[in-house]
Amino acid sequence: MKEITLIFFCFLLGLAGAWALIWFGERIGMLDLPNKRSSHNKKVCKGAGIGLLFAILVASFFLKITHFLWFPSLAISVASFWGGDRYKLTAKQRLCVHLGCSLYFLLFLSETIKMGVGYLLIIPIVLFIVGTSNFYNFMDGIDGIAGITGLIGFLLLANYGKRIHADPNYITFCICISASCIGFLFFNFPKAKVFLGDVGSILIGFVFSCLTILMSNSIMDFLIMAGFLFPFYIDEISTMLIRLKERESLIVAHRRHIYQLLVNEMEMPHWVVSVGYGVFQAILGLSLIAVKPSGISAVFSIYFIYSMLFIIISLFIRYKAHASKYH
């Protein structure tokens, strides 16, 4: 009963954060003004992710979540609020904050579990945490996509965590975050009245990646749980490779993600694209869970099949978007 009450309260916090920014966002300068890189055409308040932050902090307190998860989550969210939503930090300054929070998490984690040879994994794991945090931020560009992905991603984590007998508090924690995403979505989907903002998108990516590490008992577990954000990873990485090939700066805003092309060039409704990404995410996540008994080769096979499927579809979309742009 206490868990249900906590989950419902986190839902209310997600709802309240979005409501508060709708009413007070403009007064405190939290406006997202449309530009040629945007996928919206009118000013919308941003920063509703503050509700998710409060939900994470409240859930952390009642579930006794370790400080090396909630404290860097608080730090990275506050830095994103002031440095991304309210004012502007440079890309290097933001990266330093993300690296610092990731190292704080990992260094305390390594002391807690006495990682030993695991110290050799610090660099790739830091890259995973920082990459996931930023990828989530980059992919938060249309109505509903970040909230739906967060909702499904953390529910998949909770489902898989129960299967591998992870700490029950982490499982409840994941459900609390999903509940806060539902609360936020009431004002962001199907038509956005408020945006998550950097305070929320970077926070969700950071917490997701840290929980993936905390709940993993093996490399297999890590590979499966990391895949619960696969649509974001594959869209971002494939777009980055194309931009690098064309010698574009990766720190310059753009509209070349597949979800952006679908909305801006092919004029699909935001909600259709967001739901489509969510369905893809859920199917792939459940596929990874289903093939676990068959071993790691089956997991890699799932990644290969879905990667090829995404690449083929994305090439078609890019071709159609390019054609429509010049007709």
Q: Is 264 annotated as a binding residue?
A: no
3-state secondary structure 244-313: HHCCCCCCCCCCCCHHHHHHHHCCCCHHHHHHHHHHHHHHHHHHHHHHHHHCHHHHHHHHHHHHHHHHHH
pLDDT tens over the chain, length 327 residues: 689 999 999 999 999 999 999 999 888 878 887 776 777 778 899 999 999 999 999 999 999 999 999 999 999 999 888 766 566 777 888 899 999 999 999 888 876 554 444 567 788 999 999 999 999 999 998 999 999 999 999 999 999 999 999 999 999 999 999 999 999 999 999 999 999 999 999 999 999 999 999 999 999 999 999 999 999 999 999 999 999 998 888 878 788 999 999 999 899 999 999 999 999 999 999 999 999 999 999 999 999 999 999 999 999 999 988 766 655
Report the pLDDT value the prediction gives residue 91, as an integer from 0 to 100.
Answer: 80
Q: Please check if 198 is assigned to a binding site.
A: yes
pLDDT digits (tens, 9 = 90+) for 166-212: 999 999 999 999 999 999 999 999 999 999 999 999 999 999 999 99
Cα–Cα dist 45/50, whole Å:
12
* Model confidence, pTM: 0.94
What integer pLDDT is reported at residue 92 of this predicted model? 85
Give the CA-trace dihedral at 207, 208, 213, 218, to 10 degrees.
Answer: 160
Neighbours of 185 (CB within 10 A): 23
- Count other C-beta atoms under 10 Å from residue 116's C-beta: 8
Contacts of 324 (CB under 8 A, 6+ apart): 265, 266
